Amino acid sequence: MCDHCVNHNAKGKSKVRQKREDEDDMWLLDSGASAHFTFNFDVFIEYQPYAKPRHSQTANGLAPVLGKGTVLLRFNGNIVQLSPTIYMPTCTFQLVSLGTLLKDNCLYTQSAEGYMHIIDDCTKCDIISFHTHGDSTMYWVRAPPVHDIISASIDMIAVDYELLHR
């Protein structure tokens, strides 16, 4: 059974759950998110603080946004760059904007009965696969951060979307 099934309802809202050792590896893929967000400063490989703290509207009101940077995540052995990722220390979950991920990394989705696959448009490789939950537009995935930039650069999937489409 997946973490979504055990710990969350179909809309992604938290149910009572125990803090787990690997909780920092859990990311919510959200087709409605406007950007990538994390509460964990340690996942950044590059970071720029904002000169003045900003605020972002969340379901629970305004939350401080302290800066932005680059995060590398490992999905099923593939490394994906999330940039910019917003640092919001009070954020309850780490969010991957599914729309931004698809656009910025030249990926597309393919659905099969009960599963969704995110595929690299250039290599046709399956980057992320997960099972879906009804009509939910949010999906939980385990994606540990990558801190070793040198080895990551060998197999990193990062495409300059604008350059490819000029």
Domain extents for the chain?
Answer: 23-164
Q: What is the 3-state secondary structure (H, E, C) of 82-144?
A: EEEEEECCCCCCCEEEHHHHHHHCCEEEEEECCEEEEEECCCCCEEEEEECCCCCCEEEEECC
Per-residue pLDDT at 102:
80
Ordered per-residue pLDDT tens for the chain, 166 residues: 355 454 543 334 433 333 445 667 889 888 888 899 999 999 999 999 999 989 988 888 899 999 999 999 988 778 888 999 999 999 888 999 888 888 776 677 777 777 778 887 777 878 777 777 677 767 888 888 888 765 455 444 444 444 344 4
CATH number of 23-164: 1.10.3470, 3.40.50, 3.30.1360, 2.40.70? 2.40.70
